[in-house]
Amino acid sequence: MVTAASTTLLAAAALLAGCSRGPRPDEAGRLDHPHAPGSLASPTGLRVVDFHAHWDPRYPLTMLDRMDQAGVAVAVNYSGGLPTALPHSVRGERESGGRLRFFCNVPWRLIGEPDFVERVVLHLRECKTAGALGLKISKALGLGVPDPATGSLLAVDDPWLDPIFEEAGRLGFPVSIHTGDPQAFFRPCGPENERFEELTAAPEWCFADRDVYPAWEELYAAFLRRVARHPGTVFVGVHFGNAPEEPARVAAAMREHPNLWIDTAARLPEIGRHPPEEIRAVFAEFPDRILFGTDLQVGPDVLVLGAGPPEPSPADVETFWRSTWRYFETADADIPSPTPIQGRWPLHGIALDRAALEALYHGNAERLLGL
Ligand SMILES: [Zn+2]
């Protein structure tokens, strides 16, 4: 999720920020000291690719600092691919020695232009030339982008947009797509809602009003119809396939659609409340289609740990990383939530074996992105 603060930040007028510290030589994309004292890296020492992150592309070193702290070798920016952001993303990739990568974004502000779809297709091609590795579609599609013809919300599977998804496939772009949001956000948002704390901090994420927003089920169905319509395009259903509350349903969707992958970003509290064998079954059935992601949002004055306030304490940062690794690597049943604002229940770890961790942390991402 992107907070209002970081959206403003990322959308701010593009000014070249000076890079006072110069590039970091890191040809292999590996860290020199993954186990330095105080490191929050995975105890396994495995290489990690963060497939789902957001940072202000004008400040690449800020992101690299965060990655170094947690032993992340390479990260993908889902917020670095608007036309105005591209020059910064290109520079960040170069100066980071390829550790900072980026996906394209759709310039939805052009939605009213008569040649909108054609312009987006052209943007995707330019983005590819600039070095982008995929396309990210935010939850705004389905929950915020208006249909210029009618003024009502544009559906996730509106055929008008088909050429964009077809072009992504032709360009070899995986399409990371966020559709809907936690199911709780679609229920009445009062104190009885289990996500009341988060909805109080971000009231704009309450989608309970059926006069304004579609039902969660409607959005999810449109997402799967979109995936089904473009078998030549790989889709990454972010946030555990957009349905972390229902792992069996996620598995069924992946079974039905061989072009559907998922990432784990910002949903460990949701999957971590299920019996671990349920989640382990999804990993066992689809070891090659699950990607590690954090949903970290990083800017010069902002750090959001997947969810929550923009200024977490050092203790929050430590809990975020240690709980993340513990969830995947141990069978502990008392793991504190990495993102407590999403619900303060403990997580039950799934203790993936080393081969599964290798695939999750870097192998699948490297194969999909050609890294
Ligand atoms: Zn995100």
Angle (CA) 23 16 83, round 5°: 105
Number of compact structural domains in the chain? 1
Q: Is the pTM of this model over 0.85?
A: yes
- 181 lies in a domain? yes
- Rounded to the nearest whole angstrom, what is the distance from the C-alpha of residue 203 to the centroid of ligand 1? 18
Per-residue pLDDT tens over the stretch 208-255? 999 999 999 999 999 999 999 999 999 999 999 999 999 999 999 999
- Rounded to the nearest whole angstrom, what is the distance from the C-alpha of residue 252 to the centroid of ligand 1? 23
- 14 lies in a domain? no
- 31 lies in a domain? no
- The whole-angstrom separation of Cα 52 and Cα 291 is 9
- Rounded to the nearest whole angstrom, what is the distance from the C-alpha of residue 4 to the centroid of ligand 1? 13
pLDDT exceeding 90 applies to what percent of the chain?
Answer: 83
- 47 lies in a domain? no
For residues 180-195, one letter each, b for 16 or more C-beta atoms within 10 angstroms of the residue's C-beta and e for the rest, the string is bbbbbbbbebeeebeb
Which DSSP helix (H) or strand (E) runs through 236?
strand 235-237
- Rounded to the nearest whole angstrom, what is the distance from the C-alpha of residue 40 to the centroid of ligand 1? 21
Residue holding tokens 């590690």?
292
CATH number at residue 97: 3.20.20.140
- Rounded to the nearest whole angstrom, what is the distance from the C-alpha of residue 108 to the centroid of ligand 1? 17
Q: Does 120 score more than 80 pLDDT?
A: yes
Is residue 338 within 8 Å of 320, Cβ to Cβ? yes
- 186 lies in a domain? yes
Helical H runs in the chain?
4-11, 60-70, 86-95, 116-130, 140-143, 162-170, 196-201, 216-229, 238-241, 247-256, 268-271, 276-285, 314-329, 354-358, 364-369
- Rounded to the nearest whole angstrom, what is the distance from the C-alpha of residue 337 to the centroid of ligand 1? 18
The predicted pLDDT at position 161 comes to: 98
- 110 lies in a domain? yes
Rounded to an integer, the average pLDDT of 46-75 is 97
Q: Does 145 score more than 60 pLDDT?
A: yes
Rounded to an integer, the average pLDDT of 111-122 is 97
Is residue 54 within 8 Å of 297, Cβ to Cβ? yes
CB atoms within 10 A of CB 64: 24
Is residue 222 within 8 Å of 179, Cβ to Cβ? yes
- Rounded to the nearest whole angstrom, what is the distance from the C-alpha of residue 348 to the centroid of ligand 1? 23
- Rounded to the nearest whole angstrom, what is the distance from the C-alpha of residue 136 to the centroid of ligand 1? 9
- Looking at the DSSP bridge assignments, the partners of residue 299 are 302
Residue range of the domain that includes 199 = 56-369
The predicted pLDDT at position 308 comes to: 77
- 141 lies in a domain? yes
- 7 lies in a domain? no
